[in-house]
Amino acid sequence: MSSAGTEVTSSDYIKHHLTHLSSSPQTSLVDFSVIRWDTMFFSVLTGLIVIFLLRAAASKATAGVPGRFQAGVEMLVELVEDQSKSIVHGNRGFIAPLALTVFCWVVVMNAIDLLPVDLFPMLAGLMGIHNLRPLPTADLNATLGMSFGVLILVLYYNLKIKGIGGFLHELVAAPFGTSKNPFFAVLLAIPNFLLNIIEFVSKTVSLGMRLFGNMYAGELIFFLIALLGGAWAGFGVGSVLAFLGHIVAGSIWAIFHVLIVLLQAFIFMMLTLVYIGQAHESH
Amino acid sequence: MEIAGFVALACGLIIGLGAVGACIGIGIMGGKFIEASARQPELMNALQTKMFLLAGLIDAAFIIGTGIALWFATANPFKG
């Protein structure tokens, strides 16, 4: 973590914690040759945990008096089912389980943020890995990847329900409408098409960046609070105050962050349902 | 003025202006929610779910801005 003989400054500490475990350094803003192993590992790991837990609940489910675990999972499924029933008007056989998976996966991924900041990097350091960022949703690639997945599903449902002709017609006819006169039809088609493209792009980008921004800011504040605790310099007044401040601020922020973790996962799930539900409606 | 000064100013503006918009928006929405709960207390639970959802959406642009500003403040990409 520190180079031999020199002290670790606070900006070094934060920079170390903000560096991903990449396959190669990133040379430009969009560089597809770089793979961030820590994001991949933790997102797959949390996905497997979610699948394992939900499958355990499903396979041990009894029709009699449920245990607490089964009751908890049933409450979760009922919550997602209620939301999906009111938003998506169509066949929800695939969409409701998708929403459940998204919600559980994002909650478990976000919950990694609540573990101590130095825990995973220290364990990784023991294995010889120098940089590790354990929180996958604080990586823009992971959240944009998920929202691209939602975009692909939205396009798929648009094509499936409206057909290719209907979908293309809606691209050039909504929201301003079209007209019989071919000149006016073309005149209206251009702003319609632009608005539709902007709508798709902004929905996808905002979905990904909202989750990223929340988790990144939360994680960074955890780093800054850890710096407060790391400023220990013997039992002087400043050090003790910093230590107490670190405990108080850390507790308050961790409690608030629990709300943010659940809320952001809920928002991601709701917006997934809303966007797919919009694909089911026609104008 | 050097780059670090400009970056610090930029971070302050991003966070401050974002906070103004987000707080005013949440204040207006919260006021409407309380008003609606006072008129129809039976709708309070249903509206609360929607209120949290809207709070997350209103905060989105502000928190994206805060994330970017914190990134500039700590791992400054503008050096050199």
DSSP A249-270: HHHHHHHHHHHHHHHHHHHHHH
Q: pLDDT band at A257, cuts 50/70/90?
A: very high
Considering only alpha carbons, which residue of chain A is nearest residue B53?
Answer: A267
Cis preceding-peptide flag for A175 (omega within 30 of 0): yes
Q: Does A21 map to a domain?
A: yes
Residues of B in contact with A20 (CB under 8 A): none
ipTM for the assembly? 0.75
Domain assignment present for residue A4? The answer is no
Of B56, B64, B75, the CB nearest to A263: B56
- Report yes or no on A249 lying in a domain: yes
Closest CB from A11, A216, A264 relative to B56: A264
Which CA distances in Å does B53 have to A86, A223, A279? 15, 27, 20
pLDDT digits 0-9 by tens, B2-17 = 888 899 999 999 999 9
CA pair distance B52, A266, nearest whole angstrom: 9
Question: Nearest-CA residue of chain B relative to A219?
Answer: B67
Q: Which two tokens stand for residue A235?
A: 């039992």
Whether residue A5 lies inside any domain: the answer is: no
CATH ID of B3-74, from 3.40.50.620, 3.90.1150.10, 1.10.150.120, 1.20.20.10: 1.20.20.10
Residue A3 lies in a domain: no
Q: What residue type is assigned to position A177 of the chain?
A: G
Domain annotation covers residue A64: yes
Q: How many domains does chain A have?
A: 1
Query: Who contacts B10 (Cβ-Cβ below 8 Å, separation ≥6)?
Result: B69, B72
The three state secondary structure string of A153-168 is HHHHHHHHHHHHHHHH
Residue A247 is assigned to a structural domain of this protein: yes
Mutation for B interface: A113, A220, A264, most B CBs within 10 A = A220
Position A220 in a domain: yes
pLDDT (0 to 100) of residue A155: 93
Q: pLDDT digits over A160-211, tens only?
A: 988 898 888 888 887 777 778 888 888 888 888 888 899 899 899 989 999 9
Domain around A243: 10-25+33-280
pTM for this predicted structure? 0.86
Question: Is A210 among the catalytic positions?
Answer: yes
Note the residue count of chain A.
283
The pLDDT of residue A229 is above 90: no
Looking at chain A, which residue has its C-alpha nearest residue B65? A213
Give the mean model confidence (pLDDT) for residues A117-141: 88
Q: Do the chains contact at B64 and A209, CB–CB below 8 Å? A: yes
Asked if residue B76 has pLDDT above 60, the reply is yes
